[in-house]
Amino acid sequence: MHINLKNNNILIVGAANGLGLNLLDEFLKEGSNVIAIDNNKSLLKMLEKKYFKQLNNKLFLYFIDVRKILEIKKFSNTFSKKFKKLDSLIFCAKSNLDKKKNTQQCWNEIMDVSIKAPMLFIENLKLSIIKSKTSIINIGSTNSSFVSHQPLAYHVAKSGLNQLTKYYANNLGKYSVRVNVVEPGLIKTKKIKKKISNLNKILIPLGNPAEFKQVFDLIFFLSSEKSSYITGEIIRVDGGVTTSDHPNLVNKIIKNKI
C-alpha cells in the first residue's frame, strides 16, 4: 500500500525525544512539513543543528510548555496565521516522572500533560482541525488497561486519554475529523538488556519488542486518507503481550525456568 504524505502538515507535540523524535525524522523523510513542539530547550537546540537545512522550510520548531494554557493559545494563533492546513496532529508529549514527587504532585503533573494538554490543543486549534479534516492521533499506553510500575496518575491518565479520544471522535466526526489512539507496548531500545530481551521472547507472542518502524507504519496509515473510515479506535501495537492473563504469563516463566 502506497501512502503519500509529501507536503502534509504534521504537528507533533512532544517531538524532541523518544517516539516523537523518531516520528519527526520519519515524517521529514516522507517529505512532510513537520511542526514540532517541545518544552526542552536544549533538545530543541540540538534539533536546530541537526536539521539546519530544513529549518523553517520543512521543519518548524516551537518551545512550548504544554502545561500552560496561555502558551498553547498563543501557539494556536500563530499556527492559524502561518499554516493553511493541519493534516495530522500527533500528541505524544509525556511527563517527567520524578520518583521523588509525592502522589499528589505527580498526579497534577501527569494530568496536565496527558489529559488537559491534548484537550487544549484540540479546542484551540478546532477551526483549523475542522477546516482541514485533520487526523488526530493520541499516543496512549497499554497501561490504560493493565497495571505496571508507573505511577497511579499515569494509569488513570492513559485511560482518560482513551475516553477523551472517543469523545472527540464522536463530536468531530460530522466534520470528517478522525481521532484515534495508538497504544505501543514495549519498544526496542538500547536500554533493553539481554536478560530482559530473553524474557520478552517468551512473554511476547510475536517474540520481540516492537521496532520503532512498526509503530510508525500504523501512525503513517492513520495520518493518511487510507484510514478515512477509522475513528474512535484504540489500537495496540504490543506484539500480542496483552492477550495473556497473568497465570498464563507466570506459567511461561516457570516453564522456561527464568
Three-class SS string for 220-232? HHHHCHHHCCCCC
pLDDT at residue 210 in the model = 79
pLDDT digits (tens, 9 = 90+) for 211-242: 888 999 999 999 999 999 999 999 999 888 77
Q: Which three cell numbers stand for residue 228?
A: 478515512
Please give the Cα distance from 54 to 162 (Å, whole number).
34
Q: Which residue has the cell 486549534?
A: 125
- Are the C-beta atoms of 238 and 183 separated by less than 8 Å? yes
Provide the mean pLDDT of the chain. 90
Distances (CA, A) of 43 to 12, 33, 37, 52: 15, 19, 11, 14
pLDDT at residue 32 in the model = 98
Which listed residue (62, 154, 175, 229) is catalytic? 154
Flag whether the pTM goes above 0.75. Answer: yes
pLDDT digits (tens, 9 = 90+) for 72-130: 999 999 999 999 999 999 999 988 766 556 677 789 999 999 999 999 999 999 999 99
- Are the C-beta atoms of 60 and 256 separated by less than 8 Å? no
Domain boundaries, the chain: 9-190+209-244
Domain 9-190+209-244, CATH = 3.40.50.720
Residues, the chain, total? 258
The residues near 204 (Cβ < 8 Å, ≥ 6 apart) are 185, 186, 238, 239, 240, 241
62 is catalytic: no
Number of Cβ within 10 Å of residue 94's Cβ equals 18
pLDDT at residue 143 in the model = 83
- Are the C-beta atoms of 243 and 185 separated by less than 8 Å? no
Of 93-97, 129-133, 159-163, least confident by mean pLDDT is 93-97
